[in-house]
Amino acid sequence: MMDLIKRYIYAVTQKLSESQRTEIEKELHGLIEDMLEDRGAHVETATNQEVEQVLLELGPPEEMAARYRGRERYLIGPGLIDSYKSVLRIVLYSLGILLSFAYIVDFFTSSEPAGELLIEYFVSLLNGEIQAFVWVTVIFAYLEYRGTKQVPKDAWKPYDLPIIPDPATQIKPIEPVLGIIFSLLFFVLFTFSIDLISVYRWDESLVAIPVFAQAAFAKYLPLIWILTAIGILQDIIKLIARKWTPQVVVVRVVFNIASVIGAIILLSDTTIWNPTFMDQLVQAGTLTPGNEAYDVVNSIWDRAREGLIYVIVIIAVIDTASVIMKLFRSKEGKTVLTK
């Protein structure tokens, strides 16, 4: 019966801030021991019925956690506040670093006056940080709202408690953190610095030959923002859940599907590609028409659009299969399959 007690304490403490968890875990364990002793039982030898009666008397984990928190009037409650602060720091710091790096590259490669570049940098930084703060806050507020509005259909039973996740099936925090950073890199690159995706050649000065037509690409910025938001959302959910659950897997699969659809829409539009790319390579002295290198690069350029779509589809399929297998290997996955 120790397993059921541990599951109850785990369910309660996961809804509290990290600073409270250790102390309240000890307090709850002592409380349950005392309640069992009042019934003439010991925690190690108590029967199923005795432990179940004690846990029913204590009430659902959500209600017990609410008693420890006191009066609840939160936009983002204690159960999510630590994750919120961590994600917000990661997003704001990473975005600032990425925008600063993009500015430094522009400073050395752009022909625009340094003053104008500096103004653009500060405007982009301020705008980006404000948007990041708003979106992260909105996402966590929504998750908090969903959590507080979930009402069980049936009376709570101790055996409904979730299983404590096996360390082998847990999601390491570094994984969603890297995912958030990658999403921000994707956002900064395609929103503010798409001209950095170029072929570079040094010939007395640095020559950059852009891969994309920036003006034509601008119409797809809302799609880039949506994909970034979905990517950060699924990484936030992973950071909060810390384990592969059916809900986490569903969000991941939705993200993969959205990424494939977005890639097909984006890359299939021939107008986003630099129409004079090959000519610019020739003018820069990188290639010479008629030789083997020119023919190889020209062939790769012609097939780049289709090839990138295939690569993205293959990566999405492999990733989807991988996360589904992780779910099947987890205890929770096995429980779901047997229901």
Quote the percentage of the chain above a pLDDT of 70. 86
Average pLDDT over residues 80-94: 84
User: pLDDT tens digit string along 26-41?
Assistant: 888 888 888 888 887 7
Q: Which two tokens stand for residue 204?
A: 């007395």
* DSSP 8-state code for residue 209: E
User: pLDDT tens digit string along 4-22?
Assistant: 888 888 888 877 777 778 8
Residue position matching structure tokens 């290198």: 293
CA pair distance 325, 320, nearest whole angstrom? 9
Average pLDDT over residues 92-98: 87
Contact 77, 71 (CB under 8 A): no
For residue 258, what pLDDT is reported?
A: 93
Quote the percentage of the chain above a pLDDT of 90. 12
Encoded amino acid at 100, one letter: S
pLDDT band for position 339 (50/70/90)? very low
pTM: 0.65
- Domain regions of the chain by residue span: 2-69, 74-150, 164-339
State which H helix or E strand residue 202 sits in: strand 198-203
* Among 248, 247, 268, CA closest to 175: 248
For residue 255, what pLDDT is reported?
A: 92
Contact 163, 332 (CB under 8 A): yes
User: pLDDT tens digit string along 158-172?
Assistant: 766 766 666 656 788
Comparing 103-112, 220-229, 261-270, 318-327, which segment has the lowest mean pLDDT?
103-112
H runs (alpha helix) in 269-291? 277-283
Contact 103, 193 (CB under 8 A): no
Burial letters 299-319, b for 16+ CB under 10 A, else e: eeeeeeeeeebeebeeebeee
Strands 205-210 and 198-203: antiparallel
State which H helix or E strand residue 227 sits in: helix 221-241
Average pLDDT over residues 115-141: 85
* Among 142, 266, 94, 256, CA closest to 197: 266
> Above 90 in pLDDT, residue 2?
no
Any residues with CB less than 8 A from the CB of 94 and at least 6 apart, and which?
Answer: 180, 181, 184, 185
CA pair distance 36, 45, nearest whole angstrom? 10
HEC string for 110-141: CCCCHHHHHHHHHHHHHHHHHHHHHHHHHHHH
**Residue-averaged pLDDT of the chain:** 81
pLDDT band for position 337 (50/70/90)? very low
pLDDT band for position 333 (50/70/90)? very low
Contact 263, 308 (CB under 8 A): yes
Encoded amino acid at 11, one letter: A
